[in-house]
Amino acid sequence: MAHARDDHDHHDDHDHSALDETELRVRALETVLVQKGYVDPAALDALIDTYTTRIGPQNGARVVARAWVDPDYRARLLADATAAIAELGYSGRQGEHMVAVENTPARHNVVVCTLCSCYPWPVLGLPPTWYKSAPYRSRVVRDPRGVLAEFGVVLPPETEIRVWDSTAEVRYLVIPQRPAGTAALSEAQLADLVSRDAMIGTALVGTTPVRRGA
Ligand code: FE
């Protein structure tokens, strides 16, 4: 299963040193589990492939784009996000009780899990490292405006910032504001504008397609 992690070997960014330590431990654990017959390496590969290619923020982006172009879908999403997201075929572990929160000029929503790293896997894939970090989890609650500024998101002072604390019971999806000047775009083109971070609330949506992947 080395192929799933090969891209990490090309990073010479020293910020990855902690992750490398973690990866070593994961590999050691995996080796022991496989040798003892507790896990099937093929099943593990399939699981990792699922979360690297099939399940990821592209799913949430389709939900957001649909909500932007279809007012009825938007209403269903805000009323019962789990059901509305399942309409597009996304459901399963860590996404059983979804709540969609919509950004407006008056209110910006940002999501955290202060306790650990609860995150809506079916629509966003696996959480980014910073989402799981202690500084993000503690600071975004105390100083959301300051943390957002560090992400490059500077909101007008009159925009209220609402922080949503995820739990094992409820996971949140932020519906970002649709950028101006996108009236001519198709639903698929709109989805290409929506980044993972925009659906966590730590980014805004611009008019440039985002790059997906590692
Ligand atoms: Fe958590």
**In order along the chain (214 residues), what is the average pLDDT of each group of 10 residues?**
40 52 83 86 81 87 98 98 96 87 98 93 91 95 96 96 93 97 97 97 96 69
11 belongs to a structural domain: yes
Q: Please give the distance, rounded to the nearest whole angstrom, from the Cα atom of residue 2 to the centre of ligand 1.
A: 28
Active site residues: 113, 116-118
Tell me phi and psi for residue 102, to 5 degrees.
-100, 130
206 belongs to a structural domain: no
Look up the pTM and report it.
0.80
The pLDDT of residue 1 is 38
82 belongs to a structural domain: yes
d(CA 77, CA 100): 6
212 belongs to a structural domain: no
H or E element: which one contains 87? helix 81-87
Q: Please give the distance, rounded to the nearest whole angstrom, from the Cα atom of residue 61 to the centre of ligand 1.
A: 22
d(CA 204, CA 106): 14
DSSP 8-state assignment for residue 168? S
Q: Please give the distance, rounded to the nearest whole angstrom, from the Cα atom of residue 104 to the centre of ligand 1.
A: 26
The pLDDT of residue 18 is 61
Please check whether residue 159 is in contact with residue 108, taking contact to mean a CB–CB distance below 8 angstroms. yes
The pLDDT of residue 191 is 97
The boundaries of the domain holding residue 72 are 3-200
Please check whether residue 140 is in contact with residue 112, taking contact to mean a CB–CB distance below 8 angstroms. yes
Distance from chain centroid for Cα 197: 6
DSSP 8-state assignment for residue 14? G
Q: Which two tokens stand for residue 61?
A: 């982006």
d(CA 92, CA 95): 6
Q: Please give the distance, rounded to the nearest whole angstrom, from the Cα atom of residue 112 to the centre of ligand 1.
A: 8
155 belongs to a structural domain: yes
d(CA 185, CA 171): 29
d(CA 210, CA 214): 12
Please check whether residue 90 is in contact with residue 123, taking contact to mean a CB–CB distance below 8 angstroms. yes
The pLDDT of residue 62 is 97
If one counts the domains in the chain, the total is 1
Q: Please give the distance, rounded to the nearest whole angstrom, from the Cα atom of residue 183 to the centre of ligand 1.
A: 37
96 belongs to a structural domain: yes
158: exposed, middle or buried (Cβ count in 10 Å: 0-12, 13-18, 19+): exposed
Q: CATH no. for residue 30? A: 3.90.330.10
63 belongs to a structural domain: yes
210 belongs to a structural domain: no
